[in-house]
C-alpha cells in the first residue's frame, strides 16, 4: 500500500470510529484497585476476573480471526490477549495504521469479548523481530546490543535513544487511538513489549553503555535495592558484585520501557504491564526462582525475582510485572505466584500452560486473571500425534492452535465463566480460598475462622480414605458468603466442613446445586443422601454448590 493511501485509510478509520464514539456512552476506564492489601481489576466499576486466553504470535491478523473467535467460544473465555504488531502499526516512520486494531475491536465486541492488547514492539522474547522494516534496515540508528567482542547480537540495545523515542511515539499513537475509539472499554489493559531482556549476553558492551556501567549507580536504584549508605555513590560493579551486569541491564531495559509506558499512559491511562518468564527446569529462559543459577545461566534484563525493585523504581508507569508461569510442577508454579504477588504488585498470569488445576493455585493467590498461551484454532502443530508424552512436555507449545490443546481448559472455564464476577468480588473481599492437588498430599485444609474446609483427593467410597487421584488433577474454590454458608466449586475432589470449636460435629443444613445465570446463583436441587453422606464430591463435571452448615 502506498504511504498516502495508508495514511488516508488511517484517517478514515479514525473518523468513522470517532463517529461511532459519539453514539456510545463512555464507560469508566478499567483500573486496578487495592483494598486491605488485595487487588482487583475494576471494569465497569466492579471487580472483573480475566478468564483469558492468549492467541498464537501470528494470529492477530484479520485473516486469522475466524480461527480465533470459535476457539474463545469453545473455551468459554471472557477476554482474549492478542498482539498488536509494531511492524504493522507503523509501516512508515510516523504513519500509523490502526485498521487492524479497529478490526480487533469490532469483532471482539461482536463476540462479546474483552481484549488485552500485547504491544509487540522493541522486545519480543528478547529479540527486536517486530521492529518495523524501516528500523531493521537502519541498525546504525536503531542499534542492537553489542557483545564483549564488539559484535551486534539479536537483541535491541536499551541505550538506543532513537529506538526508545520511536517506540514511545508509536505506543502513544496506539493509546491515543484506543482512547478515541473505545468508549466501551473493550480493551482492558495493554502489555508493553513481550518478555523483554537479552539471552546469551549479560548486557550491552557498547562504549556508551560501558561509560554508564562505570558511573555511580542511580539514586533510585540505590534506594530501591536498599544499598547500604557506605556504598551509595559507588559504581555498579562495586555495589552489586557478581550481579552487577544483570542489575545494570535490568535498569536500562526497565528505564526504556518505563518511558514507552509513560508516553502511552499520559494519553490514555489503562493498566499496563510487562510480562516475564521465570525459568523452570523445563524452560530455563529466566532465572529459576527455586534454584537460581549464576548470572549468565538465565536471560538478563527481564524482571526476574531478584530485580523486581529495580523495575518498580525505573518504570513507575508499569502497573504490574506479570509472570508467564510455565512451571510444570506445583511447587515451582506456586513459588512463582508467591514472588509476583506482592504488596506493590497485583498478580496477573498473562501466559501459562500445564495442568488446568493450576488455575486454582493462581486464583487462590488473588490473580486478577489467567490466560493460557496458544489457544486458537490456527492449527499450528509441530509434533505428530504419535509423539510420546515426554516429547510434549519438552515442547509444551508444539500443539498450540488445535482443539485438543484448548480442550483441557474447557471444564474449568465453563465452571468459572458464569460466576466470574462473583469470584472476582469475593476474592477482592478476602472471602475466597482455593486448593489444588499436589503429588503426595491427599488432604488439604482451608481455614475460615469457625470452620475448616477439608479437601481430599481420590476418595473412592462413602467413608473411604483419600489416596490421591491417579495423577494430580483436583482443584476447588471455597468462598465464605455468610458465617455458616459457603460457595464451593471444583473438580476431582471431596470437600467437607469441620467446626473448629472442640467437640463439635458438622451437620449439613442444606446443600444446593445450582447454576449461574446473569451472574446470580440459580437453585436447581438439594443434594442429600448418597450424594453427600460422605462429603461433597466433585468430578469431571463442572459443579457449583451453595452449602449451609451448622454443628451439634
Q: Which strand (E) or helix (H) includes residue 338?
A: helix 330-340
Residue closer to ligand DGJ (CB basis): 58 or 528: 58
Smallest distance from the beta carbon of 373 to ligand DGJ, in angstroms? 6
Residue ranges in 296-325 that form contacts with ligand DGJ under rule CB under 6 A: 324
Least Cβ distance, residue 124 to ligand DGJ (angstroms): 7
Residue 69 CB partners (closer than 8 Å, separation 6+): 107, 111, 113
Taking the C-alpha atoms of residue 224 and residue 50, their distance in angstroms, rounded to an integer, is 31
**Residue choice 90, 97, 351, 512 for contact with ligand DGJ (CB under 6 A):** 351
- Name which of 373 and 457 has its Cβ closer to ligand DGJ: 373
Type and span of the H or E element at 271: none
How many residues does the structure list for the chain? Answer: 552
Map residues 5-24 to x or -, x wherever contact with ligand DGJ holds by CB under 6 A.
Answer: --------------------
Is residue 273 close enough to count as binding ligand DGJ by CB under 6 A? no
Under the binding rule (CB under 6 A), the answer on residue 280 touching ligand DGJ is no
Residues 547 and 525: their CA atoms lie apart, in Å, by 12
Contact between 125 and ligand DGJ per CB under 6 A: yes
Give the nearer residue to ligand DGJ in terms of CB position, either 193 or 496: 193
Closest approach, Cβ 266 to ligand DGJ, in A, equals 26
313 touches 344 (CB < 8 A): no
Least Cβ distance, residue 240 to ligand DGJ (angstroms)? 27
Q: Which is nearer to ligand DGJ, 206 or 367 (CB)?
A: 367
CB 547, CB 536: distance < 8 Å? yes
Contact flag: residue 397 with ligand DGJ (CB under 6 A): yes
Backbone angles phi, psi at 31, to 5 degrees: -150, 155
191 vs 434, beta carbon nearer ligand DGJ: 191
Q: How many CA atoms lie within 13 A of 409 on its CB side?
A: 30
Q: How far is the CB of 453 from ligand DGJ (least distance, A)?
A: 35
Does the CA dihedral 31-336-492-535 come out positive or negative? Answer: negative
Closest CB to ligand DGJ among residues 88, 480:
88
CB of 433 to ligand DGJ, least distance (A): 30
Burial class (CB in 10 A: 0-12, 13-18, 19+), 67: middle
Does residue 359 contact residue 333 with C-beta atoms inside 8 Å?
Answer: no
Q: Which of 195, 319, 325, 376 binds ligand DGJ (CB under 6 A)?
A: 195
CB of 286 to ligand DGJ, least distance (A): 11
Number of chain residues interacting with ligand DGJ (CB under 6 A): 9
Q: Using CB under 6 A, which of 78, 99, 194, 433 touches ligand DGJ?
A: 194
Chain residue at closest Cβ approach to ligand DGJ: 397
Grid cell 500445564 is found at: 354
Residue 19 backbone zone (phi > 0: left; psi -120 to 50: alpha; other: beta): alpha
Closest to 260 measured CA to CA, from 190, 183, 333, 212: 190
Kindly tell me which of 301 and 472 has the beta carbon lying closer to ligand DGJ. Answer: 301
In the complex, minimum distance from the CB of residue 156 to ligand DGJ, in angstroms, rounded to a whole number:
16
Rounded to 5 degrees, φ, ψ at 253 are: -65, -45
Residue 96 touches ligand DGJ, criterion: CB under 6 A: no
Question: What single DSSP character describes residue 120?
Answer: E
Query: Among 308, 310, 301, which Cα is nearest to 322's?
Result: 308
Shortest Cβ 326–ligand DGJ spacing (Å) = 8
> Does 204 contact ligand DGJ by CB under 6 A?
no
Q: Minimum Å distance from CB 336 to ligand DGJ?
A: 14
Coil, strand or helix: which one is 416? helix
Q: At what angle do helices 161-181 and 3-23 cross, to 10 degrees?
A: 40
User: Least separation, in Å, of the C-beta of 261 and ligand DGJ?
Assistant: 18
DSSP single-letter state for residue 441 = B
Site string for ligand DGJ, 32-61 (x = CB under 6 A): -------------------------x----
Binding to ligand DGJ, residues 427-466 (CB under 6 A): none
Give me the 220-249 binding string for ligand DGJ, x by CB under 6 A, dash otherwise. Answer: ------------------------------
Q: What CA–CA distance (Å, rounded) separates 458 from 514?
A: 24
- Is residue 373 a contact point for ligand DGJ (CB under 6 A)? yes
In the bound state with ligand DGJ, the residue whose beta carbon lies nearer, of 267 and 328, is 328
Q: Judged by CB, which is closer to ligand DGJ: 275, or 355?
A: 275
CB-side exposure of 179: number of CA atoms within 13 Å? Answer: 14
The three state secondary structure string of 195-240 is: CCCECCCCCCCCHHHHHHHCCECCHHHHHHCCCCHHHCCCEHHHHH
Q: Give the shortest CB-381-to-ligand DGJ separation in angstroms.
A: 13
Chain contacts with ligand DGJ (rule: CB under 6 A): 57, 125, 194-195, 277, 324, 351, 373, 397
Amino acid at each position: 500500500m502506498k504511504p498516502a493511501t495508508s495514511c488516508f485509510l488511517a484517517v478514515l478509520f479514525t473518523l468513522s470510529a470517532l463517529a461511532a464514539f459519539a453514539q456510545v456512552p463512555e464507560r469508566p476506564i478499567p483500573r486496578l484497585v487495592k483494598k486491605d492489601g488485595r487487588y482487583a481489576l475494576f471494569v465497569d466499576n466492579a471487580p472483573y476476573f480475566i478468564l483469558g486466553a492468549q492467541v498464537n504470535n501470528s494470529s492477530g491478523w484479520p485473516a486469522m480471526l475466524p480461527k480465533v473467535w470459535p476457539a474463545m467460544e469453545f473455551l468459554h473465555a471472557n477476554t482474549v490477549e492478542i498482539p498488536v504488531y509494531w511492524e504493522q502499526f507503523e509501516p512508515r516512520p510516523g504513519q500509523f495504521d490502526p485498521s487492524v486494531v479497529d478490526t480487533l475491536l469490532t469483532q471482539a465486541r461482536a463476540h462479546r469479548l474483552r481484549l488485552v492488547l500485547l504491544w509487540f514492539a522493541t522486545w519480543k522474547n528478547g529479540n527486536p523481530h517486530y521492529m518495523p522494516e524501516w528500523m531493521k534496515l537502519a541498525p546504525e540508528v536503531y542499534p542492537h546490543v553489542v557483545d564483549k567482542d564488539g559484535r551486534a547480537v539479536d537483541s535491541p540495545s536499551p541505550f538506543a535513544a532513537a529506538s526508545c523515542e520511536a517506540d514511545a511515539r508509536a505506543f502513544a499513537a496506539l493509546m491515543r487511538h484506543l482512547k478515541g475509539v473505545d468508549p466501551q472499554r473493550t480493551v482492558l489493559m495493554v502489555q508493553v513489549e513481550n518478555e523483554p531482556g537479552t539471552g546469551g549476553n549479560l548486557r550491552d558492551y557498547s562504549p556508551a553503555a560501558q561509560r554508564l556501567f562505570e558511573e555511580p549507580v542511580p539514586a533510585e536504584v540505590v534506594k530501591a535495592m536498599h544499598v547500604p549508605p557506605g556504598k551509595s555513590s559507588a559504581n555498579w560493579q562495586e555495589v552489586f558484585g557478581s550481579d552487577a551486569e544483570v542489575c545494570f541491564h535490568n535498569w536500562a531495559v526497565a528505564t526504556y520501557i518505563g518511558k514507552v509506558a509513560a508516553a502511552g499512559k499520559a494519553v490514555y491511562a489503562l493498566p499496563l504491564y510487562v510480562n516475564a518468564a521465570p525459568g523452570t527446569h523445563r524452560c530455563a529462559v529466566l532465572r529459576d526462582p527455586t534454584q537460581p543459577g549464576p548470572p549468565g545461566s538465565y536471560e538478563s534484563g527481564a524482571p526476574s525475582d531478584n530485580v523486581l525493585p529495580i523495575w518498580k523504581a525505573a518504570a513507575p508507569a508499569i502497573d504490574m510485572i506479570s509472570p508467564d508461569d510455565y512451571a510444570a510442577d506445583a511447587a515451582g508454579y506456586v513459588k512463582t505466584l508467591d514472588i509476583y504477588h506482592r504488596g506493590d504488585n497485583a498478580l496477573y498470569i498473562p501466559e501459562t500452560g500445564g495442568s488446568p488445576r493450576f488455575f486454582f493455585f493462581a486464583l487462590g493467590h488473588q490473580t486478577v486473571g489467567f490466560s493460557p498461551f496458544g489457544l486458537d484454532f490456527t492449527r499450528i502443530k509441530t509434533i505428530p500425534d504419535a509423539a510420546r508424552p515426554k516429547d510434549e512436555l519438552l515442547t509444551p507449545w508444539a500443539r498450540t492452535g488445535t482443539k485438543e490443546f484448548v480442550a483441557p481448559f474447557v471444564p474449568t472455564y465453563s465452571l468459572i465463566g458464569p460466576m466470574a464476577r462473583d469470584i472476582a468480588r469475593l476474592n477482592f473481599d478476602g472471602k475466597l480460598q482455593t486448593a489444588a492437588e499436589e503429588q503426595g498430599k491427599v488432604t488439604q485444609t482451608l481455614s475460615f475462622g469457625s470452620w475448616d474446609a477439608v479437601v481430599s483427593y481420590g476418595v473412592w467410597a462413602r467413608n473411604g480414605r483419600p489416596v490421591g487421584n491417579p495423577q494430580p488433577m483436583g482443584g476447588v474454590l471455597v468462598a465464605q458468603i455468610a458465617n455458616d454458608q459457603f460457595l464451593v466449586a471444583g473438580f476431582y475432589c471431596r470437600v467437607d466442613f469441620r467446626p473448629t470449636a472442640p467437640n463439635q460435629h458438622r451437620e449439613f443444613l442444606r446443600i444446593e446445586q445450582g447454576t449461574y445465570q446473569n451472574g446470580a446463583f440459580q437453585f436447581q436441587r438439594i443434594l442429600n443422601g448418597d450424594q453427600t453422606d460422605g462429603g461433597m464430591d466433585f468430578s469431571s463435571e463442572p459443579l457449583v454448590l451453595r452449602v449451609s452448615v451448622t454443628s451439634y
